[in-house]
Structure 1
Amino acid sequence: MIPFNKPFLIGSEIKYIEDAVRSGKISGNGKYTKMCQQFFEHEYGFKKALLTSSCTDALEMAAILADIKEGDEVIIPSYTFVSTALAFVRQGAKIVFADSYSDNPNMDATKIEALITPKTKAIVPVHYAGIACDMDLIMDLANKYNLLVIEDAAQAIDSFYTGKEGVKKALGSIGHLAAFSFHETKNIISGEGGMLTINDDRFVERAEIIWEKGTNRSQFFRGEVDKYGWVDTGSSFLPSEVTAAFLWAQVENIQTIQTKRKQLWEYYYEKMSAVASEVAIYLPQIPEYATNNGHMFFINFESLEQRTKVIQKLKEKDILAVFHYISLHSSPYYQDKHDGRVLENSDKFTDTLLRLPLFYELNEKEIDRIIECFK
């Protein structure tokens, strides 16, 4: 069986976990948490990075920081994971769904302005498969209408955007806030895990308080206040040092991991191109302003029926390929709250997008075997 995903251990995870346990500090915000956060800040230019127990936690922190309240509107793509919406729904927001591009699952930035109303509070672009949204256009709209931008960068670690000024910026460093995932299906992993990045000075101090259960505990340990207490809302968002120690083993080898994943992605693309030219298969389209971080290799079909048959045939050959999101606007929980607009492209990707196996230990021989099944 070629699985869809296989979590990869670089080799030093157990050593660092043992070191964390023996240090006597495993409850969180210790040595490994700080090492990971400092790495991300220095490597990718995030103003502040805070590890969280999941990307969902990071999004929930972002929703609190954005001061989302009952009746506020938040614009997100319909083609995304439920956490993107749920973090804001829990604060009482109305979700306004944006459609995807016709050739790209990302939200169509040219359609966002028509969705903005006086109640709009934030735009949440999702960088699907680590491929950047049109951040210049999105940030211009945010500035024009005084909105916050919260990047859902769950799949976008070590991926970049080149803006109209020719400057390349890491995804997660452009919006006011951003959320990342280190779930076992992502490029670098800690089992469960995530990170909130803060790029606006207005939110740095409060983010740390919300992260620490609504207390100014971090300020106390830095000697900035003489005692700490409950000063704001919050929750227990930070992960344990065991999780952070596992993550550090991956973080310090991120370029090794990334080089391999991108090589596999390029090999897929080269081999699948020959097949796609003969049958109705459509390959990923990466805009000029975006980079590819090797997170996912997906293809699209003409129809749901075609995709269903291919999934079954691959399974018969012991290859596990999977579809992805079901449009949130048509979900049982939210369909009666949606405004009724037809989101044609989001629904198309729901029916036709297929993700192929891609993980660090996959090899070219196995990709050849997958391609042969398509032939």
Structure 2
Amino acid sequence: MDSSIIPFNKPYLSGNETRYIEEAVQSGKISGDGMFTKRCHQFFEQQLGFKKVLLTTSCTDALEMAALLLDIKPGDEVIMPSYTFVSTPNAFVLRGAHIVFADSTAENPNMDPAQVESLITARTRAIVPVHYAGIACDMDPIMEIANNHKLFVVEDAAQAIDSYYKGRALGTIGHLAAFSFHETKNIISGEGGMLAINDERFAARAEIIREKGTNRSSFFRGEVDKYGWVDQGSSFLPSDIIAAFLWAQLENLRDIQAKRVAIWERYYSALEPLVENGVELPRLPNFATNNGHMFYMVCRSLAERTALIESLKSQNINPVFHYLSLHTSPFYAEKHDGRVLPWADHYTDCLIRLPLYYELSTAQQNRITDAILAFYKQAAL
């Protein structure tokens, strides 16, 4: 019987990454905005319909750029889910914002749009929906609320590359959007991210902020005869070596996505019998597509999840839980307004993510699902 270790994640390599990195090095231009960066930008704008994109060194940096572009200031309020990674609020906390956390939905960990309007005050500046597991938030009501109250929407699409809402690519709907190419994502560059700019009023300034507050990009296009310090900013643009790695991935986007979705669907088919006994599997709303980013289960209790993780790890299978509710975090608990967010806490206690990566074989996946089914059979569901 195979007892080899099944990791939670294994980075996918197309085979061209090192060749393209070598090309970038030999070109003599390995700092930002070289030939591979331009190829990546063109791909996203032409293939996925973004008005303008800028590669960044991380999704965190893309979010920080968004906060700068929106001129978030001390005392401003930003609404977002509690069940998210710390980068989502940190980008706005760094500008002095107060974070107003919304609860997740009963159907999935995405922010509940029905709660958003009641959280808006005169100080609210932005709403930040997070497309958890690459499954779209219900964006129409969020955009309607934002437009009615003259608020900005920043999509945290870190996990949502090549996923859609009513036929529109996630990240093309809000005023701004942030993506991740961290090694745990579908399309990777080790570290790396991207800011998508869908509101043209931010396009020129985004380039300046990304280039340390200078109009250097305009200079290299010949639009100005010299460049200088014209705004606040930082060094957000990645080396072209990172873009070269990313380009090798983008060339294989369709293959990567098809393989991940097939793995996701095999998980669902094998584990679906658990649903009638109260174990939750991902729910795909009729307005959303599935990009195969993540397969998760929601156990019935913290104790059950802990026991399941221990059982799988004893068999050299490595699942992991995910976020801890940020409204109860050591950093923000005293700043939170005291509202109970039961669904965020539920996913904190009960959600477990299963291994999902390109090279996960059917035999390995069967080993995982058999182990899970055996656990629940032993637990006398």
2:273 aligns to what? 274
Residue 165 of structure 1 corresponds to none
In structure 1, runs of 5+ residues without a counterpart are: 163-167
Q: Which residue pairs with 1:193 in the alignment? A: 192
Let me know the Cα RMSD of the aligned residues: 0.7
| C-alpha contact 1:29 1:240 (8 A) present in aligned 2 | yes
Query: Cα distance, 1:365 vs. partner?
Result: 1.2
* Alpha-carbon shift at residue 137 of structure 1 (Å): 0.3
The aligned runs of 1:115-126 (5 Å cut-off) are: 115-126=119-130
Quote the sequence identity (%).
Answer: 66
| Structure 1 consecutive aligned stretches of length 4 or more whose deviation exceeds 2 Å | 274-277
Match of 1:356 in 2: 354
Query: Separation in 2 of the partners of 1:211 and 1:251?
Result: 23
3-state SS of 1:75 partner: strand
Match of 2:329 in 1: 331
* Partner SS for 1:45: coil
Residue 227 of structure 1 deviates from its aligned partner by 1.0
Q: Deviation at 1:275?
A: 3.7
CA distance in 1, matches of 2:40, 2:126: 28
SS in 2 for 1:197: strand
TM-score normalised according to structure 1 size: 0.98
Aligned residue among 139, 150, 156 for 2:160: 156
2:266 matches 1:262 = no
2:74 match: 70
Q: Which residue pairs with 1:242 in the alignment?
A: 241
| 1:1-375 correspondence to structure 2 within 5 Å | 1-162=5-166, 168-277=167-276, 279-375=277-373
Equivalenced residue count is: 369
Letter in 1 for 2:230: V
**C-alpha distance in 2, partners of 1:226/1:24?**
24
Q: Output the amino acid matched with 1:106.
A: N
TM-score where L is the length of structure 2: 0.96
Paired residue secondary structure (1:256): helix
1:374 deviates by 1.6
C-alpha separation in 1, matches of 2:244 and 2:223:
27
Unaligned runs of 5+ in 2: 374-381
Q: Report the Cα offset of residue 366 of structure 1.
A: 1.1
Q: Distance in 1 between matches of 2:12 and 2:197?
A: 29
Preserved contact between residue 210 and residue 233 of structure 1 (Cα < 8 Å): yes
Task: Verify the 8 A CA contact 1:49 1:197 in the aligned structure 2.
Answer: yes
- Asked if the contact 1:275–1:374 (Cα under 8 Å) also holds between the matched residues in 2, the reply is no
Return the alpha-carbon distance in structure 1 between the equivalents of residues 41 and 102 of structure 2. Answer: 32
After superposition, the C-alpha distances for 1:166-220 in whole angstroms (9 at most, x for unaligned) are xx11000000000000000000000000000000011000000001111111111
